[in-house]
Amino acid sequence: MGCCGKKPSTGIFARARDTIDEIAANYQERLKICGNCTNLKRFHEIVPLGTPATKLDKCGKCGCFVAAKAVLFNQKCPDRKW
């Protein structure tokens, strides 16, 4: 039962699931791109280039924590990589 007392159609759930899947895939793709970027400042310096960025890694261009920035749709890479 939906919040308004009606049973929501399965189409709404399917679209919501597709949107969530798309957001998650986009987020992971951004972290991979940052992981291959020479501007990335790793919190742990021994992590090899190409490893997806983690929550404590910062962008050397803008100074943002990339994991926090990458999750926001309205944010952009300062180097136009995503």
DSSP assigned state of 22 = H
Build a one-symbol-per-residue string for 53-72: x at contacts with ligand SF4 by CB under 6 A, - elsewhere: ------x-x----x------
Taking the C-alpha atoms of residue 53 and residue 51, their distance in angstroms, rounded to an integer, is: 6
Piece of the chain touching ligand SF4 by CB under 6 A; list 2-10, 13-21, 37-45? 37-45
Q: Across the chain, how many H-helices and E-strands are there?
A: 2, 2
Nearer to ligand SF4, 47 or 78 (CB): 78
CA angle 66, 82, 53 (to 5 degrees): 30
**Positions in the binding site for ligand SF4 (CB under 6 A):** 33-34, 37, 39-40, 59, 61, 66, 77-79, 81
